[in-house]
Amino acid sequence: MIVFDKIAKSSKILNPLKHFKEDIVTFEYRADPLTGRNSTVIRGMLKYVCKSFVSDEELLGHLIEKTKIGCPFCPGSVKERTPMFTPDFLEAGRILVGDTVVIPNLLGHAERSVLAVLSREHYLKLNDFTAKLILDGFKGGLAYLKRLNEVEPLIRFPVFIFNYLPPAGSSILHPHMQVLARDRPFYLVKLLLEKSKIYCERSKSSYWSDLISKEKNGARYLFGINNVEWLVPFAPLRGSNEVQAIVQGKSNLLELDDEEWLGLAEGISKILQFYHKQGYVSFNIILVSGPMNRHLDYFDVNLRMISRPGIQASSFTDAWGLPYLLWDGEAMEEPELFAEKIKKFIRATD
Ligand SMILES: [Zn+2]
Closest CA to 78 of 112, 110, 106, 109: 106
For residue 87, the model assigns a pLDDT of 97
**Cα–Cα distance, 316 to 247 (Å, whole number):** 34
For residue 47, the model assigns a pLDDT of 85
**Cα–Cα distance, 205 to 58 (Å, whole number):** 53
For residue 52, the model assigns a pLDDT of 85
Residue ranges per domain, the chain? 46-349
Whether 113 and 178 have beta carbons less than 8 Å apart is answered as yes
Closest CA to 287 of 195, 173, 158: 158
**Cα–Cα distance, 216 to 231 (Å, whole number):** 9
**Cα–Cα distance, 220 to 206 (Å, whole number):** 20
At 142, give phi and psi (nearest 5°).
Answer: -65, -40
What is the distance in A from the centroid of ligand 1 to the CA of 280? Answer: 20
pTM exceeding the 0.85 threshold for the entire prediction? yes
What is the distance in A from the centroid of ligand 1 to the CA of 134? Answer: 17
- Give me the helices (H) in 70-216, please: 78-81, 131-151, 187-203, 207-215
Residue 58's CB: how many other CB atoms inside 10 A? Answer: 9
Paired residues of 87 in beta bridges = none
What is the distance in A from the centroid of ligand 1 to the CA of 175? Answer: 8
Stated as kind and residue range, the H or E segment containing 48 is helix 45-49
What is the distance in A from the centroid of ligand 1 to the CA of 256? Answer: 30
CA-CA distances (angstroms) from residue 331 to 10, 39, 153, 320, 338? Answer: 16, 7, 39, 14, 10
CATH pick for 46-349 out of 3.50.50.60, 3.30.428.10, 3.40.190.10, 3.40.50.970: 3.30.428.10
- Residue 75, Cβ density class (10 Å: 0-12 exposed, 13-18 middle, ≥19 buried): middle
For residue 238, the model assigns a pLDDT of 84
What is the distance in A from the centroid of ligand 1 to the CA of 72? Answer: 6
Whether 200 and 297 have beta carbons less than 8 Å apart is answered as yes
**Cα–Cα distance, 135 to 177 (Å, whole number):** 12
Paired residues of 103 in beta bridges = 115
**Cα–Cα distance, 349 to 277 (Å, whole number):** 11
The three state secondary structure string of 277-343 is: HCCCCEEEEEEECCCCCCCCCCCCCEEEEEEECCCCCCCCCCCCHHHHCCCCEEECCCHHHHHHHHH
pLDDT by 10s per residue, the chain, length 350: 899 999 999 999 999 999 999 999 999 999 999 999 999 999 888 888 888 889 999 999 999 999 999 999 999 899 999 999 999 999 999 999 999 999 999 888 989 999 999 999 999 999 999 999 999 999 999 999 999 999 999 999 999 999 999 999 999 999 999 999 999 999 999 999 999 999 999 999 999 999 999 999 999 999 999 999 999 999 999 878 999 999 999 999 999 999 999 999 999 999 999 999 999 999 999 999 999 999 999 999 999 999 999 999 988 898 999 999 999 999 999 999 999 999 999 999 97
**Cα–Cα distance, 75 to 72 (Å, whole number):** 8
What is the distance in A from the centroid of ligand 1 to the CA of 246? Answer: 32
What is the distance in A from the centroid of ligand 1 to the CA of 51? Answer: 28
Per-residue b/e over 272-311, b at no fewer than 16 CB within 10 Å?
bbbbbebebbbbbbbbbbbbbeeebebbbbbbbbbbbbbb
What is the distance in A from the centroid of ligand 1 to the CA of 160? Answer: 21
For residue 244, the model assigns a pLDDT of 98
For residue 303, the model assigns a pLDDT of 98
What is the distance in A from the centroid of ligand 1 to the CA of 343? Answer: 34
What is the distance in A from the centroid of ligand 1 to the CA of 69? Answer: 8
